Structure 1
Amino acid sequence: MAPALASSASQISHFSPAELSYLHTSLSYPNNPIRPDGRSATQFRPLTAETDILPNTNGSARIGFADGTQAIVGVKAEIEKTVNTGILGERDGEGIGEGEGGGMEDEEDTGGEGGRRQRGAGGRGAGQSSWVEMSIEIPGLRDDDALPVFLAEMMREALVGSGSGSKEDKYGMPEGLKGRLVINQGWHWRIYIDILLLSPPLSYPLPLLSLTTHLALLSTKLPKLISKDEEDPMFDDDWALAEYLYPRTVPNPAISLRQPFRPPITLLVIAVGENIIFDPSREEIAVADAVFCVSIGRDEQISKDKQDQNASNLKLLAIRTIDPPSRLTNSGLSNSENAVNIGVSAGDDSVEQPPVTSDSVQGVWKPRQGGVKRGLISKIVKLVLQRGGVGDEVMQGLEGVEVG
């Protein structure tokens, strides 16, 4: 059995101190980092994307990066009864999957494609985070290893936390995924998101998995609901009438220039010196001073000023730090610290030089210690959320992928 692959952001780098010093010096060049592949600081790797590639799923997508890494995501939906819990924790309704043909069996009635939520049902409750399940499979790792569990929970937390729960805007669309899963007081949707990384990760796989999941959710369809209010759910069996979980267009032409609510994405960002670099490669992560995971989403409400059609409606959902692998690398030795070179020079009248033990020596690799400045984090948030920034660019690029 092959040994388990450690987390890409915490495994020991195989670069020599000289290589690490060269990479760090190039990436920390003021205001213009020199990346190994020639990209700019905010430029992402080229990728190929396609949707609706898996049969018997409500939505699916595949994305492949230029370095050969690929990921496939499938989204499956099923209907089940909502269990209401009283003040003392007792169940007020029947158990999930129990009753007259309720619960899991309804998936067969709709051909395994799920169904559409009921909009405007009177008195329906808010959705629950437990209705969204996510699992990640990475080659060489068990399902319960730390890396896939951490990545799955990070992306799931951002997914269920985006929007505003079951609250509806003035156009009748629930602003959060949890609200869109509610059919009525007695029924709801449960969605399963299965993520498969097809190749061993050459770098931290978070950006690839997050973008593929985003695209799969954009292509997810649920059959049209034809029952009303608190009736048992009934769906139209014509799949051509199925509705997107995240509608592709906003029905009101007054907000045609505004982007509708969308699933969140999680970007990987590193800091090297004073430079901020997006979508880092394996070599760049190896010398990063800090590694950040930035989760953002797009909400319906973009500005208090309704006339401001150009305002960005991106919202920061979470920002996390990951222990960079550079902290586990070995420091290089300057000539003054190397025992082989002490007292040895080209001339016969050499003089022994005292060792230099400063924290930083030009051209000598030494792992960075300590944290990051608040101003650097503020700069990252600004680059991601500003109008026309990195977040807008990524969202618009994914929006241009044809689905359906």
Structure 2
Amino acid sequence: MAPPQQTSASQTPLISPAELSYLYTSLSLPEGPIRPDGRSPTQFRPLTAETSIVPGANGSARIGFADGTEAIVGVKAEIERTLATDALDLRQLQELEQQYDGGGGEDSGAGEGSTAGVIGGQSSWVQMSIEIPGFRDDDALPVFLSEMMRESLVGASVAGTANDGENNNKLVGGLKGRLVINRRWHWRLYIDILLLSPPQSYPLPLLSLTTHLALLSTRLPKLKSQGEEDPFFEDDWNLAEYLYPRGEHNNLRNQARPPVTLLVISADKNVIFDPTREEIAVADFVLAVSIGREIDETAGGGTNANLKLLSIRTIDPPSRLTQHGIPDSENAATMGVATTDIPERTDEEVAGVWKPRRGGVSRGVISHMIKVVLERGGVGDEVMEGLERVDVT
């Protein structure tokens, strides 16, 4: 029985050098790329999505791409006591309380729950595991994908609390801050990701979109206790509150949302989103861009939740690896020193045959890739709005 297919961004698909050359020429046309499946540069593959499919989980989602690749994500939450080593010491807490209350100290009249927005959460409160068919849990691909997605989830800190007009302080900001109950208790999230079939392309966008939907559908029991009391909750699950509160679709910019990681490639000066495995094989540069919506109370109005860049990661495409037949004198791995044991082969340009581009890409191309994601009404906005319209009830 043949071993399962191992798919990663650094593997070249089994197509000829002539086909690779034709593909790169089509993607790097000055008047715009021509993609093999006919999509526009910013168009994503068709997908189906549904939420709340795992019984007993606080949140879950499933997304399937048109190529048959599917992923399921389940989110489970449990209450946990905050260790003394995780919490702020008393002096730091008092300073933050005074800063939050405008320097008024104990007489400022802040609500009992106001300090929950000041105490930052911990990265260890979010645990993530990824299972990919054909890979062990400690293989490089699942570990790298897990840390890259977790980095965007826990990298953003909480901004503070906002009043909803009914004397209720609502927490805004990153995921870590939303897990704080009070100084002594917090929620711990377990995010389990399962890829149902061997990936036909680099699975990062699929896993990220599915995790985003699962977090949007995550609900936590409504808290009945107040202040620093030991937490106890409402028994009625119908009163449970969303981890990321829902709102009107046309009011998305006033709502904090979990992050999404998009995969972007460049072919010459063209920028292409959601690449297939074949497109990654000829890419000059592959970038994973993590974005999210966080309410920034320091922006003036306290209701602005425009897209924020959370992290960027470069991913090595096959063109960045040393190809067969490269002379040692031109190989960066040998520091330009030619060996005498094996005769060197000349690597001449041959018309119509794929030869990877050497060297890096300009900063202008990278800046343009990020700008297309973050600009108002750009790709990032379209992805967020599309996921927002998925029914999470």
**Same fold by TM-score greater than 0.5:** yes
- Root-mean-square deviation over aligned CA pairs: 2.8
Tell me, what secondary structure is at the counterpart of 1:167?
A: strand
Q: Contact 2:133 / 2:195 at 8 angstroms: preserved in 1?
A: yes
CA 1:304–1:166: 2 relative to 1, 3 Å:
closer
* Cross-structure match for 2:388: 399
The SS at the match of 1:29 is: coil
Superposition deviation, residue 48 in structure 1: 0.3
* Residue from 211, 228, 247 that aligns with 1:213: 211
Residue of structure 2 in register with 1:376 after alignment: 365
Can you give the 5+ residue segments of structure 1 that lack an aligned partner in the other structure?
A: 90-117, 334-356
Q: CA deviation at 1:5?
A: 4.8
Q: Is the 8 A contact 2:290 2:310 kept in 1?
A: yes
- Is 1:331–1:367's contact at 8 Å kept on the other side of the alignment? no
Task: Answer with 1 or 2: which has the greater Rg.
Answer: 1
| Residues 266-325 of structure 1, C-alpha deviations (whole Å, 9 max, x = no match) | 000111111110000111111111111011111223994759x9x871011111111101
Aligned partner of 2:257: which letter? R
Decide which of 130, 133, 148 is 2:127's aligned counterpart.
Answer: 133
Mapped to 2, the partners of 1:208 and 1:86 lie a distance apart of 33
* Regions of 4+ moved over 6 Å: none
- Pairing of 1:93-132 with structure 2 (within 5 A): 119-121=113-115, 125-132=119-126
Equivalent position to 2:284, from 258, 276, 289: 289
Give the letter for the 1:294 counterpart. Answer: V
Query: In the alignment, what sits opposite 2:307?
Result: 314
Point out where structure 2 has 5 or more consecutive residues left out of the alignment. 90-111, 165-169, 327-345
Q: Conserved in 2, the CA contact under 8 Å of 1:312 and 1:386?
A: no
- Pair 1:193-2:191 in alignment: yes
State the alpha-carbon separation in 1 of the partners of residues 86 and 122 from structure 2: 15
1:167-316 equivalences under 5 Å are 167-169=160-162, 171=164, 172-249=170-247, 256=251, 258-301=253-296, 304=299, 306=301, 313-316=306-309
- 3-state SS of paired residue (1:387): coil
Is the 8 Å Cα contact of residues 26 and 35 (structure 2) preserved in structure 1? yes
Deviations 1:105-147 (A, max 9, x none): xxxxxxxxxxxxx953569632100000000000000011110
Q: Quick one: which amino acid aligns to residue 195 of structure 1? A: I
TM-score by length of 2: 0.81
SS at match of 1:368: coil
Q: CA deviation at 1:31?
A: 3.3
SS in 1 for 2:319: helix
Rounded Cα–Cα distance in structure 2 between residues aligned with 1:298 and 1:247: 13
Which stretch of structure 1 is more off in the superposition, 257-266 or 311-320? Answer: 311-320
Aligned pairs for 1:358-369 (under 5 A) are 362-369=351-358
Code of the residue aligned with 1:260 in structure 2: it is Q
User: 1:161 corresponds to which letter in structure 2?
Assistant: G
Contact 2:132 2:196 in 1 (8 A): yes
Deviation (angstroms), 1:6: 3.9
Distance in 2, Cα, partners of 1:298 & 1:30: 34
Among 372, 378, 383, the alignment partner of 1:389 is 378
TM-score, normalization: structure 1? Answer: 0.79
Structure 1 residues 359-368 or 379-388, which shifts more? 359-368
| 1:204 counterpart letter in structure 2 | Y
Once residues 73 and 383 of structure 1 are traced to their aligned partners in structure 2, the CA distance between those partners, rounded to angstroms, is: 28
- Tell me if structure 1 keeps the 8 A contact 2:86–2:122: no
| Equivalence for 1:23 | 23
| C-alpha displacement of 1:41 | 0.3
Shift of 1:213: 0.1
Once the two structures are superposed, residues 1-44 of structure 1 have per-residue CA deviations (whole angstroms, 9 ceiling, x without a partner) of 86465452012331111110010011111131000000000000
- The number of residue pairs the alignment matches comes to 345
Aligned to 1:110: none
Q: Which amino acid aligns with 2:127?
A: E
TM-superposed deviation, 1:361 = 5.2
- After superposition, the Cα gap between the structure-2 partners of 1:52 and 1:14, relative to the gap in structure 1 and judged at 3 Å, is same
Q: Give the superposition deviation at 1:256.
A: 4.2
- Is 1:144–2:127 an aligned residue pair? no
1-structure distance, mates of 2:234, 2:86: 34
Aligned residues of 1:385 and 1:391 also touching (Cα < 8 A): yes
Q: Which amino acid aligns with 1:297?
A: G
Aligned equivalents of 1:30, 1:312: Cα separation in 2: 35
Q: Could you report, residue by residue, the CA deviation over 1:369-393 in whole angstroms, capped at 9, with x for unpaired residues? A: 1111100011011100001100000
